[in-house]
Structure 1
Amino acid sequence: MKPNPHTDPLAHHLLSMAYNNAWANHRLLAACAQLSPSELQATRCNFFPSILATLNHNLCVDWFYVDALERELAGDAPHEDCYQFFAVDEPFQYAADLQREQAAVDRRLLAYCAAQRDADLGRIVTIARPGGAQQDSRTRLLAHLFQHQIHHRGQVHAMLAGTAVKPPQLDEFFCAGEADLRATEFQDLGWTEADIWA
């Protein structure tokens, strides 16, 4: 029987978080795509020194954790060298490349969350790290990944405020009365409201 996360409250919440995460990335990167390469790379006040560096960091961390989640789900061993995802600090220099790669890993995360059921969310995911394995439940790793994205998207949002590009609204979570405000973006992403809330 195919998993239906809509019938499992926690799995459904995590799936809705994955949709919101992908939508927020889509909206933020569309704004960043309006910047010139020099504006993307400009040094700004932030933990990572530029919009480009922050977006690349978010992408690399997504690669790292989504790989671990997918491996555990498939019954495969942890990645022997998971730090390969950080081998290059800024693997992409242009917004279009970041948009493409972020959308790809966001689709992988959506597929992962769509396959979940509440009964399985306590299963342990192992990440092979130097000095010992990191082990956390699926729930904890997903919560960490979403929080990480929110944190760094907020930093990019703040840095955008120092440019001519208006930072997009990211602080609302799919309010029912505002579906029309995101309808065009959902169409671009190939989703409907029913995909999330059925």
Structure 2
Amino acid sequence: MTTKISRRSLILGAPLLLAGCATERRVTGIARPAGPRIDPYYQAMYGPVLNEPYPVAAVDLRKVNPRFWRQQVVYDTYEPAGTIVVDIQERFAYSVLGNGEAIRYGVGVGREEGLNFQGEARIGRKAAWPRWTPTPDMIARDPEKYLQYQNGMEGGPMNPLGPRALYLYVDGQDTLFRLHGTVEPWSIGTMVSSGCIRFLNQDIIDLYGRTPVGTRVVVQSGGLA
């Protein structure tokens, strides 16, 4: 599989949980300044979103490697248009457009290979400002941090799932893996989550808007989709 950034980089905006998705350790030293001046195009793409039940803050792009900013790219794949492909190794998610192109998003993935879902799934449901509940394993590992949320956390600006979540199902059963936003934009491009696939909040809003329930999702660790 080869990807190449197209000069037709795309901002369409938004076309108009889970257990186990919180970060359990903090990664430092990943900020990469994008240069003395960030293109206004990207500033607009990742600017504040105010037409929501809760405000979505602008992303400080100095703390996110530019390669993980949303792009329309050349993308050779066997998957049909409408498929979402997640490449764990490269930390990218692709919304396949067809005709050899896709919208590419930077993502954060599970901090260990064994925590990541791999294989094929479907979007079983979608939620705006979703509720989040830590897993029993998370509570057992760090009760001081997670026990207070054993009955769940309502959606809102501090919820680890961010403003949107897409729920992965296999054979009609919830896998407990999600594609979702994040309160930690610095973590995009890293292996830091408890297994879910996290996006910048502006990106998950965009993907949510273009992804219907029933969409096929392929999660893989490198290679041609």
TM-score, normalisation: structure 1 = 0.29
Of Structure 1 and Structure 2, which has the larger fraction of its residues in helix?
Answer: 1
Higher relative contact order (CA 8 A, sep 6+): 1
Of Structure 1 and Structure 2, which has the larger fraction of its residues in strand?
Answer: 2
